[in-house]
């Protein structure tokens, strides 16, 4: 995808594997999966799963509301019994881990399938009194495998600690999100009290609020998912023109700028069409007034990269100022009716790397949103104003940011405006654990208070991190992006920006481009 001058170009080639609804396909690299699966990796994964999730005996059930039989099945469950686990784990590794982390995980799983590498990684635990003396990891007794993992967890060597953290997180997630095709459920769900059904009806939240439905329809009217168009074989240029996206006139950026100056305000005519205009070559470079069969050039005053807390607010403010705004989101948009009640599916749809994004050493897992609305779509609604002590620190030396200090009426007014638009309030019905926590703090004489939430309902569905199917959470795609669209902004999903290019204009460097990925292939997004 490319924007030249004041324009944005969508150009092929496109590559996409798409499954039903908005599900992200797990079929991206099946050939790689098969290659690695031939090297005893399935047995290693099952052995690791059993070591991390061994079967236990039920001794007694006290103070538990869970059915004894369900609890017994849960405790007796062993990771080694889930025969489909290796395939699911390898798909996760291929789809959600990248670069060095992916290579290291695959190499580790390969090495543990052989005797000598296992000796180096497991030490004396792989020794046997019987020939052939050395055992690969998957042939070691359960107690020995668990001892190896415990050794890695407390090792002085960072790579071993990282291996333990990565494998534990990966296998635990695979076990808890695994869905048995025969039952359509996870064997742990009943004992854990995990509800798969429509929880909204159970807690009385009822149907989607009318205002939320209306806001979703407004956003839908100005949002297009480029990979979906390509997968369907649709003429992208014609579709963009039909939906009111601003196609640049022939003649390049100069003609586009002149046309924009003479054109009515985009906020007053969001559905205007420029069906007869496009100028770009197949490689994204501008070619004067020529028309390329492989590219579509769009024209906007501002391109916003990302649609979360920052991108949504910026898009709304610029659109309100009369600018023609285009929002680019690398992920897709999951509408409320398509949101899943299952953790594995929800994470695959709306989280960066399905929730497996972590620091380089694996010490911190980062649950980042990767969907239209960004992190605001999947967070737990806690909405805190900038604390006074932080504002005092900003205002003091060496920062000296008085404009953000506690005496700044402008910054206080900005916080008020944001909280008002998001419906931030208190007085929600507390969950059992939260109520007990607050009670305990009060008994200890420790200050504690309810967190303000950007939710219009006083009753929480407890599925905020799955996108809030109830429609009460005021995420970016329910507020700021809707405001921006109502003032003429447009949204393209399936476009990932890589970096900002600088280009000299009149002795100064201006942002003029953002090379990125569009619909699975390397494209370019530029604006001036």
pLDDT at 298 (0 to 100): 79
Phi and psi at 327, nearest 5°, equal: -100, 130
Return the structure tokens found at 75.
């405790």
pLDDT in tens, 21-34: 444 444 444 444 44
pLDDT in tens, 364-421: 889 999 999 999 999 999 999 999 999 999 999 999 999 999 999 999 999 999 999 9
pLDDT in tens, 309-337: 999 999 999 999 999 999 999 999 999 88
C-alpha closest to that of 167 among 104, 113, 121, 116: 104
Helix, strand, coil: what percent of the chain each, to 5? 45, 10, 45
| Whether 248 contacts 292, CB under 8 Å | no
**In angstroms, rounded to a whole number, what is the distance separating the alpha carbons of residues 169 and 159?**
15
C-alpha closest to that of 335 among 478, 462, 203: 478
Sequence-distant (6+) residues with CB within 8 A of 374 are 306, 307, 308, 309, 311, 312, 329, 476
What strands, in cross-sheet order, belong to the sheet with 302-305? 223-225, 490-493, 325-329, 302-305
C-alpha closest to that of 360 among 166, 86, 122: 166
Q: What are the residue ranges spanned by the domains of the chain?
A: 7-15+210-333+491-525, 30-202
pLDDT in tens, 115-168: 999 999 999 999 998 888 999 999 999 999 999 999 999 999 999 999 999 999
Q: How far is CA 261 from the centre of its chain?
A: 38
How many Cβ atoms are within 10 Å of 135's Cβ, its own excluded?
19
Question: Which long-range CB contacts under 8 A does 52-59 form with residues at least 24 apart?
Answer: 52/79, 52/149, 52/167, 52/168, 52/171, 52/172, 53/77, 53/78, 53/79, 53/171, 53/172, 53/175, 54/78, 54/79, 54/142, 54/146, 55/81
Task: Determine how β-strand 7-10 pairs with β-strand 296-299.
Answer: antiparallel
pLDDT tens digits in sequence order for the chain, 528 residues long: 444 333 444 444 333 333 334 444 444 444 444 444 455 899 999 999 999 999 988 766 565 556 788 888 899 999 999 989 999 999 999 999 988 889 999 999 999 999 999 999 999 999 998 888 999 999 999 999 999 999 999 999 999 999 999 999 999 999 999 988 888 888 898 888 887 665 666 565 666 678 888 999 999 999 999 888 888 888 888 898 999 999 877 655 544 444 444 444 434 443 333 323 222 222 232 323 223 334 567 788 998 999 999 999 999 999 999 999 999 999 999 998 899 888 999 999 999 999 999 888 777 889 999 999 999 999 999 999 999 999 999 999 999 999 999 999 999 999 999 999 999 999 999 888 899 999 999 999 999 999 999 998 888 888 899 999 888 999 999 999 999 999 999 999 998 877 666 666 555 556 555 444 444 444 344 444
H/E run at residue 451: none
């Amino acid at each position: 995808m490319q924007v030249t001058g004041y324009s944005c170009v969508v150009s092929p080639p496109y590559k996409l594997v798409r499954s039903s609804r908005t599900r992200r396909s797990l079929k991206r690299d099946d050939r790689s999966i098969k290659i690695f699966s031939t090297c005893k990796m399935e047995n290693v994964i099952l052995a690791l799963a059993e070591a991390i999730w061994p079967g236990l005996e039920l001794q007694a059930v006290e103070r538990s509301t869970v059915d004894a039989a369900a609890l017994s099945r849960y405790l007796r469950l062993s990771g080694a019994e889930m025969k489909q686990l290796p395939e699911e784990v390898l798909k996760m590794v291929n789809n959600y881990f990248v670069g060095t982390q992916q290579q290291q995980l695959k190499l580790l799983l390969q090495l543990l399938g052989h005797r000598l590498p296992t000796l180096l990684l497991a030490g004396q635990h792989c020794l046997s009194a019987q020939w052939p003396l050395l055992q690969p990891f998957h042939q070691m007794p359960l107690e020995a495998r668990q001892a190896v993992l415990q050794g890695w967890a407390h090792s002085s060597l960072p790579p071993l600690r990282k291996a333990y953290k990565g494998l534990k997180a990966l296998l635990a997630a695979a076990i808890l999100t695994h869905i048995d095709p025969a039952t359509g459920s996870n064997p742990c769900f009943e004992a854990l009290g995990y509800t798969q059904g429509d929880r909204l009806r159970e807690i009385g939240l009822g149907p989607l609020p009318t205002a939320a439905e209306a806001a979703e329809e407004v956003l839908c009217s100005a949002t297009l998912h480029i990979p979906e168009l390509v997968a369907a074989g649709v003429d992208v240029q014609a579709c963009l023109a039909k939906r009111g996206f601003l196609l640049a006139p022939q003649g390049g950026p100069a003609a586009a700028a002149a046309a924009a100056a003479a054109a009515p305000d985009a906020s007053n005519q969001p559905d205007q069409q420029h069906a007869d205009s496009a100028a770009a070559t197949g490689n994204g470079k501008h070619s004067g007034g020529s028309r390329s069969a492989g590219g579509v050039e769009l024209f906007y005053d501002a391109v916003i990269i990302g649609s979360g807390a920052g991108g949504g607010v910026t898009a709304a403010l610029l659109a309100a100022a009369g600018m023609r705004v285009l929002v680019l989101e690398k992920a897709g948009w999951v509408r409320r009716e398509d949101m899943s009640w299952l953790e594995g599916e929800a994470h695959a749809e709306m989280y960066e790397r399905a929730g497996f994004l972590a620091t380089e050493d694996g010490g911190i897992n980062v649950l980042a949103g990767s969907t239209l609305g960004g992190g605001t779509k999947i967070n737990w609604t806690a909405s805190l104003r900038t604390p006074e002590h932080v504002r005092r620190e900003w205002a003091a030396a060496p920062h000296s940011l008085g404009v953000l200090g506690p005496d700044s009426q402008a910054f206080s007014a900005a916080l008020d405006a944001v909280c008002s638009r998001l419906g931030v309030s208190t007085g929600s019905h507390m969950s059992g654990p939260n109520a007990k926590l607050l009670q305990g703090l009060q008994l200890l004489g420790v200050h504690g208070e309810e967190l303000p939430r950007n939710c219009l309902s006083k009753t929480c569905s407890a599925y905020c991190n799955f996108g809030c199917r109830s429609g009460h959470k005021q995420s970016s795609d329910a507020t700021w992006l809707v405001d921006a669209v109502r003032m003429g902004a447009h949204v393209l999903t399936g476009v990932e920006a890589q970096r900002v290019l600088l280009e000299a204009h009149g002795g100064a460097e201006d942002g003029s481009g953002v090379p990125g990925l569009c619909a699975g292939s390397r494209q370019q997004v530029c604006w001036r």
